[in-house]
Amino acid sequence: MAPVIVYSEEESWGKQLLTAAKGLGDPVLFTFNRNVAEKLSGMYTRTYYVKTDSFDPVAISGALRDVVNKESATILLFPCTNKGRMIAGLTSGALGFEAITDAVSVVKTGEGLEVEKLTFGGNAMAKVKAGDKASVCIVSGSYKETEEAGSTGELVEIEAKAGSVEVEYSPRKMEGVDPTKADVVVGAGRGVKKKEDLEMIKELASLLGGAWSVTRPLAADYGWADSWIGISGLVISPKLYIAIGISGQPHHTMGVRGAKIIVAINNDESAPIFEEADYGVIGDLYKVVPVLIKKLKERKQQ
Ligand SMILES: Cc1cc2nc3c(=O)[nH]c(=O)nc-3n(C[C@H](O)[C@H](O)[C@H](O)COP(=O)(O)OP(=O)(O)OC[C@H]3O[C@@H](n4cnc5c(N)ncnc54)[C@H](O)[C@@H]3O)c2cc1C
């Protein structure tokens, strides 16, 4: 079977993309996270761990290109994250691969790859065909994580390679806990009427030991936060996501599909978020959230 290279810097992504890769060929992992390499090398046929002190996209993409050439790989899978997209773009451009983003499924046909992907900002799906050399960025939650360990695969350590192109990577500084790494994320939407009211969202997140974030309008239109959750923002996979005053448009919910449990608080019982949620509270967030905060504080004092 031809190798399919999965780029992953996180365990969950490594397991999700492994499921996708298994249907396409022989899965080979590429990562710059030592922990991921060690944990997942038993699941992949081969794992390439690239040693690097920091996230240097050019060096990482250079090392990935070497691996692609060494393996004679023609299919590359990436997570639809900011870093994943960046490495996919640099690598595909340099190798002359087609690059397809926002994919939810990838299948191999006699003619190449058939990819189902989100389009019109997540409101519709499109089926596109890719030629014989392609990179595909996959949206979180599209594939279930592979759980069973396979035979112990080879772990190969490689050096990052300095590139000839200079790319400046300056991630925005986040206030508090990083939502992409937190077990609990509290998300606020336009149901929150004033910037000051975000304080109760932050307090709830802090009491739950988690992170807070917002929908795009609150960040991009109102400037209340530096980042947002959704298809054009952060993609999160917490154990618990609490969506407060969020209607649940696909642009947003595509970013939380990896969450294990979703709880929604909304005063409109017909809000689409309730279709995504495992638990729902139909009510005014200005009444519900203070009660939650009070109860959590009482519990902490017990
Ligand atoms: C190309 C493109 C990309 C986009 N990418 C993203 C993205 O990545 N992430 C993202 O979030 N959005 C994105 N959007 C915007 C997206 O389409 C929605 O407009 C947005 O998610 C809606 O945000 P919201 O749920 O906060 O607001 P609304 O849709 O206005 O929903 C507010 C909700 O709050 C409820 N509410 C009001 N008052 C209360 C109250 N007192 N108590 C309880 N509930 C209350 C209402 O019932 C309503 O359901 C994108 C749009 C485009 C065009």
| pLDDT attached to residue 289 | 98
| pLDDT attached to residue 137 | 94
| pLDDT attached to residue 197 | 98
Check: CB of residue 244 under 8 Å from CB of residue 191. yes
pLDDT, averaged per 10 consecutive residues of the chain (302 residues), comes to 94 93 95 94 94 86 94 96 90 94 92 88 83 90 82 84 58 74 96 97 96 94 90 88 96 90 98 97 98 95 82
Q: DSSP H helical segments within 111-242, as ranges?
A: 198-207, 216
| pLDDT attached to residue 131 | 84
Q: Which two tokens stand for residue 107?
A: 């299948």
CA distance 69 to 49: 16
Predicted TM-score (pTM) above 0.85: no
CA distance 185 to 204: 10
| pLDDT attached to residue 165 | 54
| pLDDT attached to residue 172 | 59
Counting from 1 in the atom list of ligand 1, the atom nearest the Cα of 284 is 42
Nearest alpha carbon, ligand 1 atom 47:
268
Residue type, 70: K
Counting from 1 in the atom list of ligand 1, the atom nearest the Cα of 273 is 49
Burial grade of 155 (CB within 10 A; 0-12, 13-18, 19 or more)? middle
Residue type, 49: Y
| pLDDT attached to residue 251 | 87
| pLDDT attached to residue 162 | 63
- Ligand 1: centre distance to CA 250 (Å): 9
Residue 289 phi/psi, 5-degree rounding, is -65, -45
Determine the length of the chain. Answer: 302
Closest CA to 265 of 249, 246, 248: 246
Spell out which residues line ligand 1, taking CB within 6 angstroms: 121, 189-191, 215-217, 228-233, 245-247, 249, 251-252, 255, 265-268, 271, 284-286
**What Cα–Cα distance (Å) separates residue 57 from each residue in 38, 164, 167, 170?**
22, 12, 7, 11
- Ligand 1: centre distance to CA 22 (Å): 36
CA distance 8 to 17: 8
CA distance 105 to 239: 23
Domains of the chain: 3-159 (3.40.50.620), 184-301 (3.40.50.1220)
CA distance 124 to 296: 40
Check: CB of residue 73 under 8 Å from CB of residue 28. yes
Strands 26-31 and 46-51: parallel
- Ligand 1: centre distance to CA 217 (Å): 7
CA distance 98 to 92: 7
Q: Which two tokens stand for residue 89?
A: 């773009």
3-state secondary structure of 213: strand
Strand-pairing partners, residue 266, are 282
